[in-house]
Amino acid sequence: MIIESILAIVIAYILGAVPFAYIAGHLKKGVDIREVGGGNVGTTNVLREIGTGAGLLVFAGDVVKGVFAILIAQWLGVSFIIVFIAGLAAVIGHNWSIFIRFSGGKGGATVIGVFLALVPVCMAIAFAVMLLVAFLTSNLRLSMMAGFIALPFLLWGFGEAGNIIAYSVALPLLTGLRILPSIIKGAKDPLARKNFIVDKDYTPWQKKKKK
């Protein structure tokens, strides 16, 4: 079982480390996504800088990474703790990818994938919350935060075990590590704080403004 556990974690990290946003930038526009826009290797930056179609494909790919990390770990028959660690490894792989010198995205889509595999109904409802907040505010950061805040309450309401509830609180914090510099800057700079809260992101239902 030790071999299976190590295998589950390593596979999860490698899956998570596949940089779909980086690949999309090179294939679609011949650019390094880390050097355009906000520099984030994730859906939001691809939506802004590459296009809606590429952004949605990147989002789907990043979600699938989390789903398969969990499904493979479960298929290997490892303990639930190792399954949880595999989900963590997938998010770490996305955020600090070995394929692009340990740079990466914020991990939100991969976290969604992890919980879609573990608790599909609750994550689907939380994702609906994200979509609603994104539609109302056009702020993808706030929408992601709203969904992840709702998730543990949904799990509690559906009678899920305490360990998965605790996991639903802990795992999304990894996305917080990637936006920590923005939070710190916002604490020092009122304008940066306002931008973090109310800035509009480009979303698929909006027409992209010409620069």
Q: What is the pLDDT of residue 201?
A: 53
Q: What is the pLDDT of residue 186?
A: 47
The answer to whether 103 and 34 have CB atoms below 8 angstroms apart is yes
Percent helix, strand and coil across the chain, each to the nearest 5: 75, 0, 25
Burial class of residue 60 (count of CB atoms within 10 Å of its CB; 0-12, 13-18, 19+): middle
Residue pointed to by tokens 């802990």: 170
Examine residue 187 and state whether it is found in any structural domain, yes or no. Answer: yes
Examine residue 99 and state whether it is found in any structural domain, yes or no. Answer: yes
Q: What is the largest CA-CA distance in the chain?
A: 55
Q: Against a cut of 0.95, is the pTM above it?
A: no
Residue pointed to by tokens 């939380």: 126
Examine residue 107 and state whether it is found in any structural domain, yes or no. Answer: yes
Examine residue 204 and state whether it is found in any structural domain, yes or no. Answer: no
Percent of the chain at pLDDT exceeding 90: 72
Q: What is the pLDDT of residue 206?
A: 53
Residues 33, 25: Cα–Cα separation, whole Å: 5
Residues 93, 107: Cα–Cα separation, whole Å: 9
The answer to whether 108 and 42 have CB atoms below 8 angstroms apart is yes
Dihedral sign of CA atoms 200, 21, 130, 51 in order? positive
Q: Which residues make beta-bridge pairs with 97?
A: 103
DSSP letters of 21-50?
HHHHHHHHHS--GGGSTT--SSHHHHHHHT
Q: 23 is in which domain, residue-wise?
A: 2-198
Examine residue 205 and state whether it is found in any structural domain, yes or no. Answer: no
Q: List the chain residues with pLDDT less than 50.
A: 186-188, 191-193, 195-199, 209-211
Examine residue 71 and state whether it is found in any structural domain, yes or no. Answer: yes
Examine residue 112 and state whether it is found in any structural domain, yes or no. Answer: yes
The answer to whether 164 and 119 have CB atoms below 8 angstroms apart is yes
Examine residue 211 and state whether it is found in any structural domain, yes or no. Answer: no
How many domains is the chain partitioned into structurally?
1
Q: What is the pLDDT of residue 181?
A: 58
Q: pLDDT digit string (tens) for 70-111?
A: 999 999 999 999 999 999 999 999 999 999 999 999 999 999
